[in-house]
């Protein structure tokens, strides 16, 4: 049935549902709104998505009758002046962000509410009416039975202790709590989602996030040591790394680590990682926000990520875990499929050829052709960046290919005042092309 005006209240439009009527649009312009209990002889059981978005910006008070069972996501969103929302007993479900972008500071949740979708993003402090069989709060955490479902607003703190008896923590509970630094998990906790300890709205922000995690000593599933928070994956000693907590710029994972969880290294300061022989899986955005430069897998394969271009780094880090692989080199190869004259692309090009795994025959031929066609330009870029390490790798790939290229490279490096790099080319030339004297007067 199409939307139509309810005879009982000309400030609302509605439609029929399987169990009654749903308010689909508020059309009034007052400061207060009372949602009707009936429309067209049917009980009003639902507030639809965005029902108040178009005309609710001036509302300060909304009253929801007990006939309403479901308040759908974003129902009261953009009621920017809304300070009072009265929910009568009978309401059973609150949708995610049902009161987003309002001015609510306090909200009483009826005891009849069975489910709050997105409890981690409630817009204000909440209290639960006496007799609630589903939800309760200890003043900071919001719990649905044995599950930590959200945190109260307006109670920012640097430390949070999950209460004893909690068995599960819902996804997103710590989102946006950028002041939170320390979390304690009691021995009762059995389930936590990957990425739980990413507590910032923007994973690439400068905030250090949660830097301390403690676990009850008798917890059979989770434990921490000086390097991180780990989950025991059944029998066999396999582990999942949920959050890296180690310091320094180098990280070495034990062979028992079979999985690196989503965002496990989020904003960590590591630059080098060596994985163990047991690694099978890397989660989404595991290294987001890291200054990671080198990853060495136990089978000898390596990933090298150049510094200096944060957007390029961001894209390359997303290759970890993509497509069920430890690293998907397709994005890496796409970035160097065409020549671009900067140090990052030169570094990637050389590293892709010098480090395992080897690119396929067609790609390898293409990359060697790029170096051959732009050798002088590459030497100049490496000299300007003072990168003798990359020049040595380039020699290891068979460049320069001629005595003339060697002479050109030495002259270029001499003009850039890079004698130590010129010496690398001279030694290569002597070994491969014979002993000739170079004229440094150029």
pLDDT digits (tens, 9 = 90+) for 232-245: 998 789 999 999 99
Quick check: 167 pLDDT over 60?
yes
My answer on whether 326 and 357 are in the same domain is: no
- Cβ atoms of residues 245 and 211 within 8 Å: yes
My answer on whether 232 and 172 are in the same domain is: no
Cβ-in-10-Å burial (0-12, 13-18, 19+) of 441 comes to exposed
- Cβ atoms of residues 218 and 187 within 8 Å: yes
Q: What percent of the chain has pLDDT over 90?
A: 80
* Residue range 21-74, pLDDT digits in tens: 999 999 999 999 999 999 999 999 999 999 999 999 999 999 999 999 999 999
Domain stop point among 152, 184, 212: 212
CB atoms within 10 A of CB 373: 11
Place of tokens 């989660």: 283
Q: Would 270 be classed as within a structural domain?
A: yes
Residue 442: pLDDT band (50, 70, 90) is very low
CATH number of residue 253's parent domain: 3.80.10
The C-alpha atoms of residue 387 and residue 420 are separated, in whole angstroms, by 10
My answer on whether 286 and 346 are in the same domain is: no
Task: Say what the pLDDT of residue 234 is.
Answer: 83
CB atoms within 10 A of CB 18: 7
Question: Chain-centre distance of CA 300, in angstroms?
Answer: 28
- Which domain range does residue 306 map to? 225-335
* Residue range 348-396, pLDDT digits in tens: 999 999 999 988 999 999 999 999 999 999 999 999 999 999 999 999 9
DSSP 8-class letter at 101 = T
390 Cβ contact list (under 8 Å, min separation 6)? 346, 347, 350, 382
My answer on whether 346 and 434 are in the same domain is: yes
Quick check: 439 pLDDT over 80?
no
Domain stop point among 212, 243, 278: 212
126 Cβ contact list (under 8 Å, min separation 6)? 106, 107, 108, 109, 137, 142, 152
Domain stop point among 164, 181, 212: 212
The C-alpha atoms of residue 122 and residue 151 are separated, in whole angstroms, by 8
Instruction: Supply the pTM of this predicted model.
Output: 0.87
* Residue range 83-131, pLDDT digits in tens: 999 999 999 999 999 999 999 999 999 999 999 998 888 889 999 999 9
Q: Would 117 be classed as within a structural domain?
A: no
Q: Would 158 be classed as within a structural domain?
A: yes
Q: How many domains does the chain have?
A: 4
CB atoms within 10 A of CB 105: 12
Task: Say what the pLDDT of residue 7 is.
Answer: 37
Quick check: 4 pLDDT over 80?
no
Mean pLDDT of the chain: 91
Q: Would 109 be classed as within a structural domain?
A: no
Mean predicted confidence (pLDDT) in 402-407: 94
- Cβ atoms of residues 45 and 16 within 8 Å: no
Residue 161: pLDDT band (50, 70, 90) is very high
Q: Give the least confident one: 136-150, 289-303, 340-354, 426-440.
A: 426-440
Task: Say what the pLDDT of residue 112 is.
Answer: 97
Q: Would 111 be classed as within a structural domain?
A: no
């Amino acid at each position: 049935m199409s939307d139509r005006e309810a005879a009982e209240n000309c400030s609302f439009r509605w439609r029929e549902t399987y169990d009654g009527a749903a308010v689909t649009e508020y059309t009034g312009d007052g400061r207060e709104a009372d949602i009707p209990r009936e429309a067209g002889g049917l009980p009003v059981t639902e507030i639809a998505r965005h029902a108040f978005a178009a005309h609710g910006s001036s509302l300060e008070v909304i009253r929801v009758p007990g006939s309403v069972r479901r308040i759908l996501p974003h129902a009261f969103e953009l009621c920017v002046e809304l300070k009072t929302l009265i929910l009568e007993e009978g309401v059973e479900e609150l949708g995610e962000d049902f009161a987003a972008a309002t001015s609510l500071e306090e909200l009483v949740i009826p005891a009849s509410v069975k489910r709050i979708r997105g409890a981690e993003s409630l817009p204000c402090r909440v209290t639960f009416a006496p007799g609630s069989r589903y939800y309760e709060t200890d003043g900071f955490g919001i719990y649905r039975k044995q599950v930590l479902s959200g945190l109260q607003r307006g109670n920012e703190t640097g430390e949070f202790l999950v209460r004893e008896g909690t068995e599960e923590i819902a996804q997103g509970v710590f989102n946006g709590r950028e002041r939170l630094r320390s979390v304690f998990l009691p021995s009762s906790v059995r389930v936590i989602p990957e990425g739980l300890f990413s507590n910032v709205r923007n994973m690439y922000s400068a905030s250090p996030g949660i830097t301390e995690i403690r676990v009850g000593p008798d917890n059979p599933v989770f434990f921490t040591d000086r390097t991180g928070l780990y989950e025991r994956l059944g029998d066999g000693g396999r582990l999942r790394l949920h959050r890296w907590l180690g310091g320094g710029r180098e990280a070495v994972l034990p062979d028992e680590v079979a999985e690196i969880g989503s965002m496990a290294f989020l904003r960590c300061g590591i630059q080098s990682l060596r994985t163990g022989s047991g690694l099978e899986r890397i989660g989404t955005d595991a290294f987001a926000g890291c200054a990671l430069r080198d990853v060495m897998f136990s089978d000898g394969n390596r990933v090298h990520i150049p510094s200096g271009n944060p957007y390029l780094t961001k894209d390359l880090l997303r290759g970890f875990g993509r497509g069920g692989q430890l690293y998907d080199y397709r994005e890496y190869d796409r970035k160097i499929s065409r020549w671009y004259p900067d140090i990052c692309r030169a570094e990637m090009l050389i590293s892709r050829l010098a480090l395992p795994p080897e690119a396929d025959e067609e790609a390898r031929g293409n990359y060697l052709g790029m170096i051959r066609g732009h050798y002088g330009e590459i030497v100049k870029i490496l000299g300007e960046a003072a990168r003798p390490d990359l020049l040595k790798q380039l020699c290891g790939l068979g460049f320069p290919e001629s005595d003339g290229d060697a002479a050109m490279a030495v002259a270029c490096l001499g003009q850039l005042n890079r004698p130590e790099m010129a010496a690398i080319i001279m030694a290569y030339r002597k070994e491969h092309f014979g002993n000739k004297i170079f004229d440094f007067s150029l």
